[in-house]
C-alpha cells in the first residue's frame, strides 16, 4: 500500500506496523510505501514546513487531483505548481508540520519494521518512456516494477426490460513478467549476447501464453507487452572478478555491465518487433521519438544505430528491464541475491529435521576477501552502484539499505538524501540487526 507523503493521514500511516502504541491503529501485515515528490525532499533538506492535504477535498475545492501530477523537470513542473496553489488557497484545510518531522517518523519506522518503502515519483515519471499514455503512481511490493497505472471505470445501466448491465472500461492493470540473468555464470562464460535474446523472447511469449483471470490485466499486458529482465549474483560476480564492493571500480563496472545488458535487451526487443510487430502503444512514446536514448546520453555509434532501428521498427515491449529481489531464486541457483551484498559468509537454513549450510558462492581463499558482508559495508557504496545502474534500467531495482540500528539520525538521513539526489527511483527494505556484530572475516 502506497500513500502520498502530502496526505493528511501520512503520520498515522507511518506508524501502521509499529510494535507499540494503540493496537487498534496497527495493521502488521501491510507493507507500506510512501510516494515522495522532489518538493518534499527539498523541504527536508531546507528544514522547511510541509503541508498535508485531504485528496478528496483537493478534488472538490481545486478541481484537480494532486496525485495526477509530477515535476517534469528538476526544480519545476506541474506538481509543485498545483501544490503551491493548494497552499495559497485560503479555505482549503491542511495540517502543517516541519518536513523533517515526517522524515524522522519514516526513519523510526524503517529501523523498527524495515518499512516504508520509498518511491520517488518525480524521478520515476521523468524517466517513464510511456508518459504519453499515462502515469506511474506507485510500484509493486518489491519496488522494481514501474509502469503506467489507471483505474478501471465501472458503469451500470438499466435496460428497457429491467435488466442491469455492468460495463467496465479497463484501466492500466500492471502485470509482472520477470526473469533474471545469473551474472555469476553468464558474464564469466561470456554468453550475454546469446542469452538475452532468448530470455526476451521467452518473456514476450509469456504474455501470449499466460491466461490471467483478471481481464483488465490481460488487456494491459497486451497493450504494453511489458517485461522485466533483471539480474542476480552481483556480489558473486564482483568476488569472482576480484573487485571490492566499496571501490570505484565496482561503480564503473556496474555502469559498463548494465549499459551492455540494456543495449542487448533493447536490441532483442527491436528484433522481435521486426518479426512480430511493435507493442500497440508505441506511437508517441520515447522509444519511437528517440528521447529514451537522448535522456540517457547514449551517444556512441552503436547506440545511435540502434536508436535509428528502433525509430524505424519500434520495440516489442513497452517496458523491458527491472531488477527483482530474487532471494529464493539465487539460493536455488547457487548465487547471491539480486544486487545485494552477502548477509553472512555462511548462512544456515533450518527446518524441524535438518539444517543446511549455504556458503557464499565460489567461496575460496581467493574470493573471501571480496565477500565483505552487508553490515560491514558503507551503504553509500551500494547507493552509488544503484545510481550507475539506474541510467540503464527503464523500470527500477529492489535496493535494500543495510544499516546498524545504532546509526546516527544524521547519517541515516544522509542515505535517503543520497538516494534521491543520485536519481535512484526507489528503496526497498531497510535491513538492520543487533548492535553487537561479529568480527568481519573478509575485512582487510
Catalytic residues: 140, 142, 144
Label each residue of the chain as H, E or C: CEEECCECCHHHHHCCCCCCCCHHHCCCCCCCEEEECHHHHHHHHHCCEEEEECHHHHHHHHCCCHHHCCCCECCECHHHHHHHHHHHCCCCCCEEEEHHHHHHHHHHHHHHHCCCEEEEHHHHHHCCCCHHHCECCCCCCCCCCCCCECCCEEEEEECCCCCEEEEEECCCCCCCCEEEEEHHHHCCCCCHHHHHHHHHHHHHHHHHHCCCCCHHHHHHHHHHCCCEEEEECHHHHHHHHCCCCCCHHHHHHHHHHHHHHHHHHHHHHHHHHHHHCCCCCCCCCHHHHCHHHHHCCCCCHHHHHHHHHHHHHCCCCCCCECECCCHHHHHHHCCCCCCCCCCCCEEEEECCCCEEEEECCCCCCCCHHHCCCHHHCCHHHHHHHHHHHHCCCCCCECCCEECCCCCCHHHHHHHHHHHHHCCCCEECCEECCCCCCCCCCCCC
Contact of 176 with 188, CB cutoff 8 Å: no
Integer Cα distance of 186 and 200 in angstroms: 15
Cβ atoms of 290 and 393 within 8 Å: the answer is no
Judge whether 64 and 58 are in contact, CB under 8 Å.
yes
Q: Which bin fits 201, alpha (ψ -120 to 50), beta or left (φ > 0)?
A: alpha
Task: Report whether 7 contacts 121 (CB < 8 A).
Answer: no
Amino acid at each position: 500500500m502506497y500513500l502520498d507523503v502530502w496526505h493528511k493521514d501520512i503520520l498515522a500511516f507511518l506508524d501502521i506496523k509499529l510494535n507499540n502504541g494503540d493496537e487498534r491503529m496497527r495493521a502488521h501485515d501491510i507493507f507500506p510505501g510512501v510516494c515522495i515528490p522532489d518538493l518534499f525532499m527539498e523541504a527536508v533538506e531546507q528544514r522547511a514546513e510541509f503541508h498535508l492535504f485531504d485528496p478528496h477535498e483537493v478534488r472538490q475545492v481545486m478541481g484537480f487531483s494532486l496525485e495526477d501530477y509530477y515535476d517534469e523537470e528538476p526544480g519545476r513542473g506541474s506538481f509543485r505548481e498545483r501544490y503551491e496553489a493548494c497552499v495559497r488557497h485560503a479555505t482549503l484545510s491542511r495540517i502543517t508540520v516541519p518536513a523533517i518531522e515526517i522524515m524522522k517518523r519514516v526513519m523510526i519506522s524503517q529501523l523498527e519494521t524495515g518499512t516504508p518503502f520509498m518511491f520517488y515519483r518525480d524521478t520515476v515519471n521523468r524517466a517513464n518512456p510511456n508518459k504519453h499514455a499515462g502515469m506511474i503512481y506507485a510500484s509493486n511490493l518489491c519496488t522494481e516494477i514501474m509502469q503506467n497505472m489507471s483505474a478501471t471505470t465501472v458503469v451500470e445501466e438499466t435496460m428497457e426490460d429491467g435488466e442491469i448491465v455492468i460495463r467496465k472500461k479497463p484501466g492500466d492493470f500492471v502485470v509482472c513478467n520477470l526473469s533474471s540473468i545469473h551474472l555469476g555464470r553468464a558474464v564469466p562464460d561470456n554468453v550475454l549476447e546469446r542469452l538475452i535474446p532468448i530470455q526476451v523472447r521467452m518473456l514476450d511469449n509469456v504474455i501470449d501464453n499466460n491466461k490471467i483471470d483478471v481481464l483488465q490485466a490481460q488487456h494491459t499486458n497486451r497493450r504494453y507487452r511489458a517485461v522485466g529482465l533483471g539480474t542476480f549474483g552481483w556480489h558473486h560476480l564482483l568476488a569472482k572478478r576480484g573487485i571490492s564492493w566499496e571501490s570505484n571500480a565496482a561503480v564503473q563496472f556496474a555502469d559498463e555491465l548494465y549499459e551492455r545488458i540494456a543495449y542487448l535487451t533493447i536490441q532483442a526487443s527491436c528484433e522481435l518487433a521486426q518479426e512480430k510487430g511493435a507493442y500497440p502503444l508505441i506511437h508517441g512514446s520515447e522509444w519511437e521519438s528517440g528521447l529514451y536514448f537522448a535522456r540517457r546520453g547514449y551517444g556512441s555509434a552503436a547506440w545511435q544505430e540502434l536508436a535509428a532501428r528502433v525509430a524505424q521498427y519500434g520495440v516489442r515491449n513497452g517496458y523491458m528491464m527491472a531488477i527483482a529481489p530474487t532471494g529464493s531464486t539465487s539460493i536455488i541457483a547457487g548465487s547471491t541475491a539480486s544486487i545485494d551484498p552477502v548477509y553472512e559468509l555462511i548462512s544456515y537454513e533450518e527446518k524441524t529435521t535438518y539444517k543446511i549450510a549455504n556458503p557464499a558462492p565460489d567461496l575460496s581463499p581467493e574470493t573471501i576477501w571480496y565477500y565483505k558482508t552487508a553490515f560491514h559495508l558503507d551503504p553509500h557504496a551500494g547507493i552509488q552502484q544503484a545510481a550507475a545502474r539506474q541510467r540503464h534500467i527503464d523500470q527500477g531495482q529492489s535496493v535494500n539499505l543495510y544499516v546498524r540500528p545504532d546509526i546516527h539520525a544524521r547519517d541515516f538521513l544522509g542515505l535517503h538524501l543520497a538516494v534521491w539526489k543520485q536519481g535512484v527511483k526507489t528503496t526497498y527494505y531497510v535491513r538492520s540487526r543487533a548492535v553487537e556484530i561479529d568480527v568481519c572475516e573478509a575485512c582487510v
